[in-house]
């Protein structure tokens, strides 16, 4: 193995490595806040400083296993996920530990992708992300020959995941074309393999530490292109987790307000008003009166401009109002909500 590889261990694997392989432990933290442990042959293991915040220590998802070939796909520096006691991180890790796959459902901006990248960093797993849009074909996922003849085969994301392990993250899963879902069925059931019919029927077994997480928006008219999942594919997901916004209507989350203050540096009074606007827009979105409910990131963008000295309503014009819709009447409704809070 290359001497320059950065290797990823599960946390339990790190503890075991301390007994037999560790030569030197760095007492200081690097600029990114990570603790670096030096192993024999000058290899390194990194663990997220957020690890102890979550109750996942007993779930080692790849004991004593190095992801050498794809270590660069292990996320790093992912911000913590703020929830109000739902323990999403713990539940996702537990689902992967016992069942190897799970599904996340929730509107845009509720942090589904964010939390998968955080889980991947915490557990030291590479991520193979696929956006299951209407243009995504089975060739994109499985692989294809390039050039003339059959000399040059390139693996797709799913095949790479099968060979190397980690998390296969299927985003927008309920926009997946049926032929794609059908190809995945034998991978996700007890057979655990893929038959590459395009490549002389090569059988690729699922990696022993290969986990699958799908994420989707609710099936509705607001999310164009979504459809009901095929029943055969749906029953292969062992655990289903519902995501929603932390602040909706009159329910304002102190955690979300703290996040806005922390990320934008805006004062608490302005942050509270921004969140009140967002919470009301989310309520109207859930009731079908608005086409979009703002995410925490959307509200943070608005708050950043406010902290830079831009008037809140002017900052909203540049961020939230234009983001919500191009329709004049919808933009006017958003302006009315903002005015009712700020004026």
For the chain (343 residues), the mean pLDDT of every run of 10, in chain order, is 39 37 35 37 53 91 91 91 88 97 89 94 95 80 82 90 96 84 89 90 95 84 62 89 92 92 96 97 89 90 97 96 93 96 90
148 plus 123 within the same structural domain: yes
Same domain assignment for residues 209 and 162: yes
Cβ atoms within 10 Å of 276's Cβ, excluding its own: 20
pLDDT of res. 81? 86
Q: How many distinct structural domains can be found in the chain?
A: 2
59 and 167 assigned to the same domain: yes
Backbone φ, ψ for residue 127 (5° rounding): -115, 130
At residue 219, the pLDDT reads 59
CB 174 within 8 A of CB 130: no
Residues 225 and 337 in one domain: no
218's CB contacts (< 8 A; 6+ apart) are 105, 106, 107, 226
Is residue 106 a part of any domain in this protein? yes
Same domain? For 233 and 326 the reply is no
Shared domain for 187 and 296, answered yes or no, is: no
Contact 203, 174 (CB under 8 A): no
Q: Which of 217, 242, 267 is the last residue of a domain?
A: 242
Domain region containing 91: 49-242
Q: Are residues 137 and 89 in the same domain?
A: yes
Do 177 and 287 fall into the same domain?
no
Q: Give the per-residue pLDDT at 31.
A: 39
Rounded Cα–Cα distance for residues 25 and 23 (Å): 7
pTM attached to this predicted model: 0.77
The pLDDT of residue 229 is 81
* pLDDT at residue 312, as a whole number: 96
248: in domain: no
User: What pLDDT score does 47 carry?
Assistant: 63
66 and 143 inside one domain: yes
Are 138 and 175 found together in one domain?
yes
Name the DSSP class of 161.
Answer: H
Residue that terminates a domain, selected from 180, 214, 242: 242
């Amino acid at each position: 193995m290359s001497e320059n590889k950065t290797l990823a261990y599960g946390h339990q694997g790190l503890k075991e490595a301390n007994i037999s392989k560790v030569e030197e432990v760095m007492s200081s933290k690097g600029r990114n806040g990570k603790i670096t442990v030096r192993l024999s042959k000058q290899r390194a293991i990194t663990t997220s400083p957020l690890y102890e915040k979550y109750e996942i220590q007993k779930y080692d998802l790849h004991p004593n296993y190095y992801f050498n070939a794809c270590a660069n796909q292990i996320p790093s520096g992912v911000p913590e996920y703020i929830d109000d006691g739902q323990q999403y991180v713990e539940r996702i890790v537990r689902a992967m530990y016992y069942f190897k796959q799970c599904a996340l459902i929730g509107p845009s901006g509720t942090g589904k992708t964010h939390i998968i990248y955080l889980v991947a960093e915490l557990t030291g797993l590479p991520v193979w992300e696929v956006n299951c849009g209407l243009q995504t074909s089975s060739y994109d996922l499985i692989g294809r020959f390039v050039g003339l003849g059959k000399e040059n085969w390139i693996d797709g994301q799913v095949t790479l995941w099968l060979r190397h392990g980690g998390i296969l993250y299927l985003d927008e899963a309920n926009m997946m074309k049926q032929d794609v879902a059908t190809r995945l069925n034998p991978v996700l059931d007890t057979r655990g393999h893929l038959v590459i019919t395009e490549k002389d029927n090569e059988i690729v077994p699922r990696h022993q530490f290969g986990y699958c997480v799908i994420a989707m928006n609710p099936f509705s008219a607001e999310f164009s292109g979504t459809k009901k999942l095929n029943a055969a594919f749906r029953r292969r997901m062992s655990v289903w987790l519902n995501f929603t916004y932390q602040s909706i209507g009159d329910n304002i989350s102190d955690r979300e307000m703290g996040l806005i203050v922390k990320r934008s540096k805006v004062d608490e009074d302005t942050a509270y008003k921004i969140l009140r606007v967002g919470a009301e827009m989310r309520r109207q979105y859930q009731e079908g009166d608005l086409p979009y409910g703002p995410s925490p990131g959307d509200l943070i963008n608005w708050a950043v401009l406010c902290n830079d000295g831009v008037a809140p309503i002017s900052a909203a014009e540049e961020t939230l109002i234009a983001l919500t819709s191009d329709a004049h009447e919808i933009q006017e409704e958003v302006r009315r909500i903002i005015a009712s809070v700020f004026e």
